[in-house]
Amino acid sequence: MKRLLLFAFVLLAGASYVSYTTVPTRNTDATHFDTIIVLGVPANKDGSASPGEMARVDEAVREFHAGRAGHIILSGGAAWTPVPEGPVMAKAAVAAGVPVEDVLIEDRSMNTVQNVYYSHEIMQQHGWTSAEVISEASHLPRAALILERYGFQWRTHPCGWPSNKSVLGRAGWYTYEALRVAGIRWFGFRPNSYLPSR
């Protein structure tokens, strides 16, 4: 019985790993985009930028200054704390040298699906058709499954890990995201009005 359970566990882990690591990272070979989208992550409760936010913003700023895109959409509402994530990250991006007129705030979304949904609304308002999407590497496969539902050109781009994230913490996030991605690829998304149909 123990051997059977061990075999089942190994099989599940292997299948989850394959599902997680084979998600496409882009739908275009473009290297320049209309905008960068930074996916949301909680701010500190005092309204300051959290390590997770700074990791994503720092990478977005680097990509902006490298000429990857001419605008940055900072996405995230008050999902986990009373502080909306988008405005906090936007303030950090401006402080890091991004012109305020090139920074756009999305502050309504409560999760990754809504991050993409509302950011896409902003893109449509400006006539933009391409985006580079930034988050931690562990998060991007799930984000890519969401992006696949949209018709614009996109690619994912990883930021560095937050300064407060230990090796064990990183492993935990990879495990969590791998299981979520496997569930989506095997069983599909739950019905969601913010997710376009295929």
For residue 80, what is the domain's CATH number? Answer: 3.40.50.620
Query: If you ran DSSP here, which 8-state letter would residue 33 be given?
Result: B
pLDDT in tens, 114-143: 999 999 999 999 999 999 999 999 999 999
Q: What residue numbers bound the domain in which 113 lies? A: 25-187
Stretch 68-86: mean pLDDT, rounded? 97
The answer on pLDDT for 194 being more than 90 is: yes
Is 179 inside a domain boundary?
Answer: yes
Is 15 inside a domain boundary?
Answer: no
Q: Which residues lie across from 37 on neighbouring strands?
A: 73, 133
The total domain count for the chain is: 1
Percent of the chain with pLDDT over 70: 95
Contact partners, residue 119, CB within 8 Å, separation at least 6: 37, 73, 75, 106, 109, 131
Is 9 inside a domain boundary?
Answer: no
Is 79 inside a domain boundary?
Answer: yes
Is 19 inside a domain boundary?
Answer: no
Is 164 inside a domain boundary?
Answer: yes
Contact partners, residue 156, CB within 8 Å, separation at least 6: 25, 26, 132, 133, 134, 135, 140, 143, 144, 147
CA distances from 71 to 56, 102, 185 (A): 15, 5, 32
Is 4 inside a domain boundary?
Answer: no
Is 5 inside a domain boundary?
Answer: no
CA distances from 25 to 19, 43, 74 (A): 13, 26, 20
Q: What is the Cα–Cα distance from 57 to 49, expressed in whole angstroms? A: 10
Q: What is the Cα–Cα distance from 4 to 8, expressed in whole angstroms? A: 6
The answer on pLDDT for 86 being more than 70 is: yes
Mapped onto helix, strand or coil, the DSSP state of residue 5 is: helix
